[in-house]
Structure 1
Amino acid sequence: MRLPNWLSPHLAALRAVLVFTVLLGLAYPLALVAVGRLPGLDGRADGSLATAGGRTVGSVLIGQSFTDADGNAVPRYFQSRPSAAGDGYDPRATAAGNLGPESVVDALTGDPETSTQSLLTQVCARSRAIGEREGVDGRRPYCTPDGVGAVLAVFRADGLTGRVTRVVSVNQAAPATPFVTTWAGVAVEVGRPGHDYVAEGGVVTPVRGDAPAEPAVPADAVTAGGSGLDPHISPAYAHIQVGRVARERGADPAAVRRLVAEHTTGRVLGFMGGPAVNVLKLNLALDEAFPAR
């Protein structure tokens, strides 16, 4: 029986759909699952999960925080870099902070819940806190001693030119003391919540200060990664944490440094990125070598 001419193309299309459904919808996915079950690949296919004491504690591909219920760093563990993903390292909200080098002025409202910090102040606050925690110099250029961005709004008689008539430390509010007392012979004021000094005509003027050009606290310790899920820190950040971790665990600092070296990987393909330390792997190795007292 000869099929009608109009039906032949439809049957050909149906056969193609069935063939490609079997090939690409069944055979190909099952083949990939089979490859993922091969020895050496099965762990990666399952998400590179890490276990301790018979329970899953995380993935070596996704960073996590090592903090207590109040968000404070647990002293016996190496700390990860900051994260802008949700409340921190939330895989469901992977994101960057979208703040750039021009984010230097805080929005002060008088209410900590609604005030927002500039990227500069976030970096300054983190560097100061890490310096105190690790016993190193937490100062950074363009940061005040109290851990906010050292930024002035400078008002001039003719807008952008002329004599200076007023100077405000925009990221410091009362009862703070201005990080510099005078600027161009004019007494410096602290900012008042709710005021936009830039909109009022002040010229944003960051002040470098006397901090060292190479801060003791490395950049990755005070800035978040692009995804917010980076599981690594730099060897420099790991090394400034060695003293604290060794002290908390009653371990020899040299032995802790050896663990850091063992968990430091080189550049990808020998030239991309920089050396890195996987924080979860390092902390698991610490728990095995020097159990918490």
Structure 2
Amino acid sequence: MRLPTWLAQHLAALRALLVFTVLLGLAYPLALVAVGRLPGLDGRADGSLVTAGGETVGSSLIGQSFTDTDGNPVPRYFQSRPSAAGDGYDPTSTSASNLGPEDIVDTIATNLDDTTLSLLTQVCARSRAVGELNGVDGSRPYCTTDGVGAVLAVFRRDGLTGQATRVVSVNQTAPDTPFLTEYEGMPVELATPGEDYRAAGATIVPIRGDAPAEPAVPADAVTASGSGLDPHISPAYAELQVRRVARERGADPAAVRRLVEEHTTGRTLGFMGSPGVNVLALNLTLDREFPAR
């Protein structure tokens, strides 16, 4: 007895569904689990977890912060780069800040707790803090000495042209002191919370200042990675921290620098990415070699 065409088609579809369910829904996942159990791969499959003293202290693939309960850097440890993932290095909220180079004006609300800092001000504040922590010059181009973006809102007589009639330092409010006393002959005012100077017709003008073209604080010390979970820092950022870590641990800077070199990995396949230092692995080695005093 020959089945009706429509029924034969449905049965064929059902058979295909069952076959692919077994292959892709059962066999393939189980095969991958089995591969992940092979010696040498089992640790990676479990998340590349790192243990110390019999306790899991982190993952070699996911960064973490080395701060105290108040969020302040612990001086005896190398510090990771900033993270925009959740409250910082949250693997359930991996993300970037989605802020770009044109994000230079803070949104200063009347309620200061609702203020949103621009990417520029975040970078400036981080650079200043890293400089103070490590005893180096934390200044950067387009940053004020108090760690905000050096940006002016300039009102002109003819809109975009003509003589300046009013100048406001848009990222500074009372009781700050304007980073410039005057601009094009006009006194520089402090910003008023809640006021949108761009919408009011001002031209936004970033001011470079006299900071060095190559800041002492490297870029990865002040910017988050795309995932927010990068476990590495650049060799330059690690070098910046060597003397502070050595001082806090009573160690020879040369010995600490040797450990940094040992934990520095090269480019992937010799040409992709940049050299990096795994911060967790380095700090664990420091705890073994130079325990906290």
TM superposition score normalised by structure 2: 0.95
Structure 1 gap ranges (5+): none
Partner of 2:285: 285
Change (3 A) 1:189 1:5: closer
CA distance in 2 between partners of 1:270 and 1:161 (Å): 52
Partner of 1:271: 271
For the residue of structure 2 that corresponds to 1:195, the secondary structure is coil
Partner of 1:188: 188
CA distance in 1 between partners of 2:207 and 2:47 (Å): 46
For residue 99 of structure 2, what is the amino acid of its counterpart? L
Does 1:104 pair with 2:107?
no
CA distance in 1 between partners of 2:165 and 2:3 (Å): 92
* Superimposed CA distance per residue, residues 148-207 of structure 1 (whole angstroms, 9 cap, x where no aligned partner): 000111111111111111111111111111111111111111111111111112111111
Partner of 2:61: 61
The aligned runs of 1:210-221 (5 Å cut-off) are: 210-221=210-221
* Superimposed CA distance per residue, residues 33-92 of structure 1 (whole angstroms, 9 cap, x where no aligned partner): 221111111111111000011011111111111111111111111111111111111111
CA distance in 2 between partners of 1:114 and 1:21 (Å): 51
Partner of 2:241: 241
Structure 2 gap ranges (5+): none
For the residue of structure 1 that corresponds to 2:167, the secondary structure is strand
The aligned runs of 1:31-180 (5 Å cut-off) are: 31-180=31-180
Could you tell me the percent identity over the aligned residues? 77
The Cα of 1:15 is off from its aligned counterpart by 4.1
For the residue of structure 1 that corresponds to 2:29, the secondary structure is helix
The Cα of 1:13 is off from its aligned counterpart by 4.3
For the residue of structure 2 that corresponds to 1:271, the secondary structure is coil
For the residue of structure 2 that corresponds to 1:286, the secondary structure is helix
* Superimposed CA distance per residue, residues 123-171 of structure 1 (whole angstroms, 9 cap, x where no aligned partner): 0000001100000110000000000000111111111111111111111
For the residue of structure 2 that corresponds to 1:238, the secondary structure is helix
For the residue of structure 2 that corresponds to 1:171, the secondary structure is coil
Partner of 2:25: 25
For the residue of structure 2 that corresponds to 1:127, the secondary structure is helix
* Superimposed CA distance per residue, residues 240-266 of structure 1 (whole angstroms, 9 cap, x where no aligned partner): 111111111111111111111111111
CA distance in 1 between partners of 2:265 and 2:163 (Å): 55
The Cα of 1:25 is off from its aligned counterpart by 2.8
CA distance in 2 between partners of 1:68 and 1:96 (Å): 24
For residue 112 of structure 1, what is the amino acid of its counterpart? L
Give the count of matched residue pairs: 292
Large movers: runs of 4+ above 6 Å: none
CA distance in 1 between partners of 2:21 and 2:189 (Å): 72
CA distance in 1 between partners of 2:16 and 2:106 (Å): 61
Change (3 A) 1:201 1:22: closer
Q: CA RMSD in A?
A: 1.5
CA distance in 2 between partners of 1:24 and 1:199 (Å): 55
The aligned runs of 1:223-234 (5 Å cut-off) are: 223-234=223-234
CA distance in 1 between partners of 2:180 and 2:16 (Å): 76
The Cα of 1:287 is off from its aligned counterpart by 1.1
CA distance in 2 between partners of 1:26 and 1:259 (Å): 46
For the residue of structure 1 that corresponds to 2:171, the secondary structure is strand
For the residue of structure 1 that corresponds to 2:66, the secondary structure is coil
The Cα of 1:5 is off from its aligned counterpart by 4.7
CA distance in 2 between partners of 1:23 and 1:61 (Å): 31
CA distance in 2 between partners of 1:168 and 1:9 (Å): 74
Q: Which moved more, 1:239-248 or 1:16-25?
A: 16-25
For the residue of structure 2 that corresponds to 1:68, the secondary structure is coil
The Cα of 1:4 is off from its aligned counterpart by 4.1
For the residue of structure 2 that corresponds to 1:56, the secondary structure is strand
For the residue of structure 2 that corresponds to 1:240, the secondary structure is helix
